[in-house]
């Protein structure tokens, strides 16, 4: 299993509705082959930061890093 943890600070204009903004990205990533889980958490000590925890069966399953939905999420 490949486990990935990402600390993410959305741009200020996306902060309040961030969970809604990343819904399509989240749904697309969860639908990818080999995705075991893909979960967002908001940092309780710093509400301007999110933590993404994702897991895949193996390294060949992490196709979303080259996908359009991944590239769009990186612009937030």
The DSSP symbol for 9 reads -
pLDDT averaged over every residue in the chain: 86
Does residue 38 contact residue 54 with C-beta atoms inside 8 Å?
A: yes
Specify the pTM: 0.78
Strand pairing class (50-56; 2-8):
antiparallel
Question: What is the per-residue pLDDT for 61?
Answer: 61
Confidence bin at 26 (pLDDT 50/70/90): very high
pLDDT score of 67 more than 70? no
Question: What is the per-residue pLDDT for 74?
Answer: 62
Question: What is the per-residue pLDDT for 55?
Answer: 93
**What ranges do the domains of the chain cover?**
2-74
Question: What is the per-residue pLDDT for 51?
Answer: 97
Of 1.10.1040.10, 3.40.50.280, 3.30.70.100, 3.90.79.10, the CATH number of 2-74 is 3.30.70.100
């Amino acid at each position: 299993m490949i486990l990935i943890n990402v600390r993410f600070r959305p741009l200020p204009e996306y902060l309040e509705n961030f969970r809604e903004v990343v819904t399509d990205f989240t749904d697309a990533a969860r639908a990818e082959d080999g995705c075991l889980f893909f979960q967002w958490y908001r940092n309780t000590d710093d509400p301007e930061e999110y933590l993404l925890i994702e897991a895949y069966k193996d390294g060949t399953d992490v196709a979303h890093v080259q996908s359009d939905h991944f590239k769009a999420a990186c612009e937030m």
